[in-house]
Amino acid sequence: MKIQQKQKDDIQVFELDGELDFHTSPDLREKISAEVSKQNHKVVVNLKNVSYIDSSGLATFVEALQKAKRASGKFILAELAPAVKSVFEIAKLDKVFSLAGTEEDACRLAKA
Partner 1 sequence: MDKTFHLEANAQELKPFRAALRQLLEHAGFDEKMIQETILAVDECLTNVIRHAYGSKPGKIEVRVQDTPHEVRFSIKDFGHKFDPTQLPEPKLPPEKPGGLGVFLTRQLMDLVEYDPHFREGNLIHLIKYKTNQR
Site residues (CB under 8 A) for partner 1?
Answer: 19, 21-23, 52, 54-56, 58-60, 62-63, 66, 83, 86-87, 90-93, 95-96
Q: How far is the CB of 56 from partner 1 (least distance, A)?
A: 7
Q: How far apart are CA 55 and CA 73, in angstroms?
A: 24
Q: How far is the CB of 78 from partner 1 (least distance, A)?
A: 19
Nearer to partner 1, 43 or 107 (CB): 43
Q: How far apart are CA 31 and CA 61, in angstroms?
A: 12
Q: How far apart are CA 102 and CA 107, in angstroms?
A: 9
Alpha carbon 30 to chain centroid, angstroms: 13
Contact 10, 44 (CB under 8 A): no
Q: How far is the CB of 86 from partner 1 (least distance, A)?
A: 8
Nearer to partner 1, 8 or 98 (CB): 98
